[in-house]
Amino acid sequence: MGEPEFTIDHADQYPQILLERGKVIADYEQRKAKIKADAQEAARKIGGQADLSESLLEEVTSLVEWPVVLTAKFEEKFLAVPSEALVYTMKGDQKYFPVYDNAGKLLPNFIFVANIESKDPQQIISGNEKVVRPRLADAEFFFNTDRKKRLEDNLPRLETVLFQQQLGTLRDKTDRIQALAGWIAEQIGADVNHATRAGLLSKCDLMTNMVFEFTDTQGVMGMHYARHDGEAEDVAVALNEQYQPRFAGDALPSNPVACAVAIADKMDTLAGIFGIGQHPKGDKDPFALRRAALGVLRIIVEKNLDLDLQTLTEEAVRLYGEKLTNANVVDDVIDFMLAASVPGIRTKATASTRSRRYWRVVQPARRISMRV
Cα dist from 361 to 91, 339, 342, whole Å: 43, 14, 11
The amino acid at 181: A
Listed range (96-105, 116-125, 156-165, 221-230) with the worst mean pLDDT = 116-125
Cα dist from 201 to 154, 166, 243, whole Å: 9, 23, 14
Percent of the chain surpassing pLDDT 70 = 86
pLDDT in tens, 86-95: 999 999 989 9
User: Per-residue pLDDT averaged across 141-169, rounded?
Assistant: 97
Q: pLDDT: is 26 or 59 the higher one?
A: 59
Percent of the chain surpassing pLDDT 90 = 79
Q: Does 248 have pLDDT greater than 60? A: yes
Give the pLDDT of residue 164.
Answer: 95
Give the pLDDT of residue 367.
Answer: 41
Distance CA 103, CA 286 (A): 39
Q: pLDDT: is 343 or 147 the higher one?
A: 147
CATH architecture of 152-362: Orthogonal Bundle (1.10)
The residues pairing with 71 across neighbouring beta strands, listed in sequence order, are: 111
Q: Where in the chain is the domain with CATH 1.10.3210?
A: 152-362
Give the pLDDT of residue 12.
Answer: 60
- Residue 282: pLDDT band (50, 70, 90) is confident
Cα dist from 68 to 16, 53, 72, 113, 132, whole Å: 18, 18, 13, 5, 19
User: Per-residue pLDDT averaged across 60-86, rounded?
Assistant: 96
- Residue 342: pLDDT band (50, 70, 90) is low
- Could you give phi then psi for residue 194, rounded to 5 degrees? -70, -35
Q: Does 333 have pLDDT greater than 60? A: yes
Listed range (15-24, 25-34, 110-119) with the worst mean pLDDT = 15-24
- Could you give phi then psi for residue 75, rounded to 5 degrees? -65, 135
- DSSP-derived letter for residue 308 is B
Distance CA 177, CA 195 (A): 9
Give the pLDDT of residue 340.
Answer: 79
- Residue 347: pLDDT band (50, 70, 90) is very low
* Secondary structure, 3-state, 150-161: CHHHHHHHHHHC
Q: Does 167 have pLDDT greater than 80? A: yes
Q: Does 150 have pLDDT greater than 50? A: yes
- Residue 9: pLDDT band (50, 70, 90) is low
- Helix (H/G/I), strand (E/B), else coil: 318: helix
Q: Does 123 have pLDDT greater than 80? A: yes
Which one of 23-27, 51-55, 281-285 scores highest in mean pLDDT? 51-55
